Structure 1
């Protein structure tokens, strides 16, 4: 075979044992968020990269006293484009360890990698490190750079992690970004919904429950306000045709994996009432009440439109509200070169084509897309994510690593022709 084809075949070979060798020590090093201390796991990740990726240039970038990020870079045979792999070092807390039937600090059993962060996303990080190792071994056959950025605060939205690296480290940006966050090897994700989190407070007047005419019930006022917020679900969405077409085309593959109704959720504003509180006794009129809501925005509607709807709808007696978090929906054109190359690499590895779809949940991919960097999320299926007995399928992690490596290799070798 020609040298380039031989190199591509080498990049694509199965490295699942290496992925597990990388993932287990990462899982064994706690990095729960909160409290968000990634110093130990960042130092470990740097050591693992040094051992497994020959010639990597490795830097630690603190975002705060306890949030530490990692950047590793390898260079190809000459000048060219840059591909950035991205992942996050922080995880959900373990919670009550007594509820786990396996070791939350990591173990393999029956073809599964268990432990906190196995799926979200230390398994995905291990897959990307193994992909970097594959590229490093074949560096004579590709041009440009491959960079791995590991952020310390994705679970708290990334301002001290990915965002900081994009702002402060020139080689943390590139021509394309590949992220191994939770998903499925059968779905390449090209975008995600935006979100607005709000707090709503209702003020009333306390009174005895038998004398309601002397009070003003804050919970009643809150109920009216929440009904107004729920009408946001009916806002019209002007979704770009290529995005609508991709969501519809992915449905047959994506919904069996992610649940019936996913396509509808991706195409509409959703409102989730996550917290509601108020009152102290059935026979007292509550003077205050509180709610917190998560509003998700599909591609095709802006945060400004939703915020205008909130401003109008919540202009009510005794009601105040504030925005906790706000991000626009974001996407890379599903016909973009990166998305096409990822889908082709997945087809080559699995022998069948993946779906190309949006992602329901949020991730650090939004930071790259906000910087106009084409980005794809391609990772393992998450099982029990955030719950006891979290795990990822070991074979899937092997697939993810191979697809990451192939996508990057093709992007860096075929850049001149644009094939």
Structure 2
């Protein structure tokens, strides 16, 4: 069935009438698309998105038959999608972006519903329902709606779907940006997990670090003959905790946005979110060492996740890290490295999306940073204004993950209205 109503006479409508129609609720349509996508398994690892990409391409061919749709296999099994349509003349290029890969399903016996899609009232269950096949469905719905009113906007509308986000890899969105000319543009909207009540304009950077301590083995009764690698590692980790004392100097607009968002954002994301967004944090995620209680260990390792707020240089953090780990028997290597990134919260994209969200939700919408990472960083690193606006991640990564269809409907309408407003006028 058609995703949106027939707008074949759209050229006779005013811009206000078009906006009104784009803002209309279509929950049944977005539910249908999301269910089809969830049923196409794409867990990462192992990382194959071929089936999900083909399903997304099939949906686009059904609902936007004249769209240019291409599939790109960046590595065996990692298939990305790019699609575009043109407006009535030259103008901006607006990009809808998402990722096709999901977390693994995990033990099927832990699920009380079908992990590959089940509808129950307003809930769509299944792996990737909230992260982020529901958001992709919303983007496709918005893409289709705007295709039917293209006489009222100029430029290009692009949809890019990457296959390598969950492991923070470069073979998805980043690969498309590097290899498809029209995968970059003037503004980017991403329907990744979040909340319809919170628009995210930036995110913290991060360092994933592996630390190794070496010692001298000995019997546990003869500690004077050995050097305990775990003790050496423990002392180093205590010093690393001191990195939390580094103080950022963010732009005032960012600090003000975090503070203003607190009454809306923290009840959704947890008390303390505002403090975490403005601070460096150190999480020791893994630690190992030794072979027996009565042996002095010769080796110990730890892996850490250091999150870096806007206003603190990643180079400064790395220098402090090196100083803290400068000692005998200590080595470290950086596994992943990304600087904090943000789009100015006063940018027209942020303001247009926030206003569209207020219209659709009928309430106040927070404009805030995002604690976790996303593919938005690739666009912002390239200088592209980018926002993340998506549904609530209920049970994300765990059993019985679900998304509310009503929220997907809101996300689709917000993306459509935001893109329409940005594409009406020539840059």
TM-score where L is the length of structure 2: 0.96
Shift of 1:158: 3.4
Aligned residues: 416
Does the alignment pair 1:85 with 2:85? no
> Greater CA deviation, 2-11 or 101-110?
2-11
Shift of 1:256: 0.3
d(CA) in 1 for partners of 2:26 and 2:301? 51
Q: What secondary structure does 1:299 align onto?
A: coil
Aligned to 1:113: 124
d(CA) in 1 for partners of 2:260 and 2:426? 28
Q: What secondary structure does 1:307 align onto?
A: helix
Map 1:338-353; keep pairs closer than 5 Å: 338-353=349-364
Shift of 1:205: 1.0
Residue by residue over 1:185-239, the C-alpha shift from the partner in whole angstroms, topping out at 9 and shown as x without a partner, is 0000000000000000010111111110011100000001101111000001111
Map 1:20-419; keep pairs closer than 5 Å: 20-415=31-426
Q: What secondary structure does 1:367 align onto?
A: helix
Shift of 1:179: 0.1
Shift of 1:317: 1.3
Shift of 1:11: 1.6
Shift of 1:282: 1.3
> Greater CA deviation, 58-67 or 331-340?
58-67
Shift of 1:2: 5.6
d(CA) in 2 for partners of 1:415 and 1:101? 51
> Greater CA deviation, 369-378 or 18-27?
18-27
Shift of 1:415: 4.6
d(CA) in 2 for partners of 1:80 and 1:17? 32
d(CA) in 2 for partners of 1:222 and 1:145? 54
Q: What secondary structure does 1:317 align onto?
A: coil
Whether the 8 Å contact between 1:255 and 1:262 is mirrored in structure 2 is yes
d(CA) in 2 for partners of 1:284 and 1:304? 39
Shift of 1:353: 2.4
Shift of 1:414: 3.9
Aligned to 2:8: none
d(CA) in 1 for partners of 2:389 and 2:360? 13
TM-score where L is the length of structure 1: 0.98
Gaps of 5+ in 1: none
Shift of 1:94: 0.1
Shift of 1:15: 2.1
Runs of 4+ in 1 over 6 A off after TM superposition: none
Gaps of 5+ in 2: 1-11
Residue by residue over 1:141-196, the C-alpha shift from the partner in whole angstroms, topping out at 9 and shown as x without a partner, is 11111100000001121311111111111110111000000000000000000000
